[in-house]
Each structure stands twice: as C-alpha cells, then as structure tokens.
Amino acid sequence: MKKIRIGIMGAGRGLCIAQNFELLGCEIVALCENRPERVEYGFSEFGFDIPVYEDFDEFLKLDLDAVVLANYFHEHAPYAIKCFKKGIHVFSECISNGTMAEGVELIRAFEKSNSIYMLAENYPQMKFNREMKRICDGGSLGKIIYAEGEYNHPANPYDSRFLKDYIYFENHWRNYLPRSYYITHSLAPVMWATGATPKRVSAAATFVPFEDKTSARMVADRAAIVTTFNDDGSVFKVSGCAAFGAHHNAYRVCGTNGQIENLRGMGEKIMLRYSDWAIPEGMDEINCYDPEWHDKDEEFIENSGHGGGDYIVARMFLECIREGRQPEHPYDIYSAVAMASVAILAHRSILNSGAAYDIPDFRLEECRKEYENDRQTPFYGSDGSEPNIPCCSHHDYRPSEEQLKNYHEAIK
C-alpha cells in the first residue's frame, strides 16, 4: 500500500501529532514553520529531521496527500482553503475558523474541492467519552435530553517557562482568547456521544481578575458558561476552556431512563445510574467501573497523547482518506464550523448580557449570505490587523503595568 504523504504546519503541536501518523505508516514529508527555535525544539523533542519551509505556498508545491494544520488557534481556515484548491486533505487542530465569514469561505471552498476535511478534536476519543457514546448508542438511557461538558484547565501563574514557549509576545492569541472560543474540548465529546448539533446558544461569563504577578492576559473571565439548544430537543451546558477549581475534564449525559458521567478526580472511572424502574437486565441501579477500550490498537492508544485520543483521531483521518469518504459527526466540516459558530456567538452573547443567537446552518446559502462579511474578531492577525470586538466580558479590563512589566521581563 502506498504511503500517505503528510506535511506538518506548526513545529510544536504539529510534530507531536506527526508521531502518530508516522506510527500509522505515513511518510512525514516536510514542516512549515517560521520560528527557528520552535523547529529546533520540535526536532529534538519528537525526533524528526525533515525539510523546513517558512512559506506555506512553497510548502504546498510538494507532493502532499494531506496537511496537518497546527498553526495559531484562530488562523486555520485560510490555510485549509489553500489546501482545498490543490485537492490536499486537511487535518485541522482546534477551531476550524476564527470568524463567521471564514466559516462561510471555508465551506464554500470545501464544496468546490475533492479534499477530505477532519477536525482534529481528540477529547471525544478519551476512554471515558468512548464509553459514554457506547452506552448512548445502546439506548439504555432512553431519550437523551441533557448533557454537560467541562474542560477545566487553569494555568500555573508561576510557570514562566510556559510564557516563553507559548505566549511569547504581547499580542499573542492566548492573551486575547475569550473563554468561549476554545470550545471543542468541552462541546465535541457530548455532540459525539449524543449525535446532537447545537442550533441556538446563550452564554454568561464568570469575571474574577487573575492575581498573577506576571501576565499580559487581556481576559479576566474564569469561564464561559455556555448553554446550547440542539436539533434533537436536548440542551447542553458546556464551559469552553475554564479556569476555576482544579484541572479536570468532566462530562455527563442524561436521558429519560438514566445518566452516565465520568467522576472528577477519579481517573477514567465511570458512574452509570438508572432510575429504579428502568434498570436493564444484568445491570444494577448504580454501576461504578473502569471502562475498557474495546479497540484492537489498545497498546498504541495507551502510549498516545490526550488520553489516547491523538492516535485514534489520526487513525480515523487515514481511514477516511483510504476509503474516500468524509468523517462523521462531529468531525466533518459542517460540525466543525457549527462548533466554531457556538464559540464565536457565545462570546457575543456574553458581550450582550446573555442574548441568544441562532447557530447558522452553512449548508444553506441564505445563512452564508447573512455572515459572509462578518469579520468580527477579538484577536490580532498575523498581518498586524487589530481586534474589532472586546475579548473580555468587562470591556475595559487590562492587566496592571506591573503585570505587563514582569511579563516582558519573563519572555526575554
């Protein structure tokens, strides 16, 4: 079988992902990266020695079957579109598009291409989330009516190394990241388990300024509490990327007969509970257990990043390429853009006192027309363009002069 030839954009996270594709028999052809120190770090950390390109257009002139987009969080769409125009498959990290207009452009370009597009979202493939989907698919919970997704990732305020490696200039996207935008780790697992797609969103933020002595963070919200109303009548409550309490990933799905959740602070342990009148044969009312992978590649999965999800999503992408098909919900491009729309419009809801917004269906031209010129963004662009909406629920929030001074000292 011919090896699938893959190019990597982004030396840090990109080369970490590349390890799994190499393990799956792909050829890693080249890297696109414009920071020499990241190239040096990536090669030493992940063991690659491949040609490096600074110019993406030159990079795309190579004989590539697919490209991994692991560049800045909010800037994937323009590069995906360039891949579509050349018939190159796309494996896109995190959010698919940074603005609503980019979502329209992304889907229009995709529909003119023969490329396969997959959102590289790994959290649904963690062991406990795979078990939740298995139980939901089995039907014993009855009709699914509610689910929660909580990705809680507070940053260590004393970790100056993180600043130097990941937030290395003042206008970096991480300093301007609204709490609702990093949504896929909390939203995608419950979408995958239930099959539902959000159709309307409302959100509120928890504003508590950070006490870090060293910071250029322009967002003092600790979490976005996002409520979605879905196409199957269910409701989700998800957190975006939160910073309260202790670090954890927590998910719960509730049906008319019972509920399933992973237990905070208990590793991969599952709690599956049924109403006493709806207990399936062979089960107890309360079932607490460690789930199994139920997967032929368990040995490789266990050694992969993000709870095994990194290996599994890479394998899923390759299966799509080899079988000539698009990935399923919520990994396909329409689901990816719907999640990006939740992220973007939830932030607008926060800025507008919790006002609800409809999630557009960009399969429909009337929805595309509504948003094709909507370029509101809280981020600086790589071209120097400035934000045109606030990134924090309190629009006038800024870090102190002392925090900024210490930040600039830390990143020297």
Q: Which tens digits make up the pLDDT trace of 353-374?
A: 999 999 999 999 999 999 999 9
Residue 9: strand pairing partners: 32, 69
Report pLDDT for 87.
98
Instruction: Give the per-residue pLDDT at 1.
Output: 72
**What was the pLDDT predicted at 264?**
93
The SS3 call for residue 86 is coil
The CATH superfamily assigned to 124-302+334-371 is: Dihydrodipicolinate Reductase; domain 2 (3.30.360.10)
As a whole number, mean pLDDT of residues 148-153 equals: 96
Axis crossing angle, helix 333-351 with helix 100-111, rounded to the nearest 10: 170
Q: Which backbone phi and psi does 85 adopt, to 5 degrees?
A: -65, -20
Rounded Cα distance between 205 and 248, Å, is 19
More confident of the two residues 162 and 124 = 124
Q: Would you say residue 180 has pLDDT above 80?
A: yes
Calculate what percentage of the chain has a pLDDT beyond 90. Answer: 87
Q: In the prediction, which pLDDT does 285 show?
A: 98
Paired sense of beta strands 248-255 and 235-242, if any: unpaired
What pLDDT, in 10s, does the model give residues 231-254?
999 999 999 999 998 899 999 999
Model pLDDT, residue 162: 84
d(CA 117, CA 316): 11
- The pLDDT-based confidence of 193 (bands split at 50, 70, 90) is very high
- Lowest average pLDDT, out of 10-14, 104-108, 154-158, goes to 154-158
Instruction: Flag whether pLDDT at 308 surpasses 90.
Output: no
Average pLDDT over residues 10-16: 93
| Torsion sign, CA atoms 24, 111, 180, 175 | positive
CATH code given to domain 5-122+312-332: 3.40.50.720
pLDDT (0 to 100) of residue 111: 98
Using H for helix, E for strand and C for coil, what is the string for 214-239?
Answer: CCCCCCCEEEEEEEEEECCCCEEEEE
Domain with CATH 3.40.50.720 in the chain: 5-122+312-332
pLDDT at position 306 over 80: no
Mean pLDDT of 268-290: 97
pLDDT beyond 90 at 387: yes
Question: What pLDDT, on a 0 to 100 scale, did the predictor assign at position 34?
Answer: 94
Domain with CATH 3.30.360.10 in the chain: 124-302+334-371
Cα dist. 354→186, 226, 235, 345 in Å?
19, 10, 16, 10
* Region 298-314 average pLDDT: 85
Residue 252, CA distances (Å) to 144, 145, 238, 259, 289 in order: 11, 11, 10, 7, 15
- Which comes out higher in pLDDT, residue 145 or 382? 145
The residues near 220 (Cβ < 8 Å, ≥ 6 apart) are 207, 208, 209, 210, 392, 394, 397
Q: Tokens standing for 320?
A: 């799509």
How confident is the model at residue 13, as a pLDDT?
92
Spatial separation of the C-alpha atoms in residues 382 and 392, rounded to whole Å = 21
Which position has the token pair 């409520």?
227
Residue 307's pLDDT band, with cuts at 50, 70 and 90, is: confident
Q: Cα dist. 213→160, 359, 401, 409 in Å? A: 11, 39, 10, 12
What average pLDDT does this structure show over 6-24?
Answer: 95
Sorted by sequence, the CB contacts under 8 Å of residue 274 that are 6+ apart come out as 140, 257, 258, 280, 283, 285
Q: Render pLDDT for 154-170 as a digit per residue (tens, 0 to 9).
A: 888 778 788 888 899 99
C-alpha distance from residue 391 to each of 88, 219, 310, 348 (Å): 34, 6, 30, 10
**Would you state the pLDDT for residue 319?**
98
| Region 293-304 average pLDDT | 86
Percentage of the chain beyond pLDDT 70 is 100
Q: What pLDDT is attached to residue 117?
A: 98
Q: What is the pTM assigned to this prediction?
A: 0.96
Q: How far apart are CA 181 and CA 98, in angstroms?
A: 9
Q: Give the pLDDT of residue 94.
A: 83
Name the DSSP letter for residue 205.
E
Helix (H) or strand (E) holding 116: none
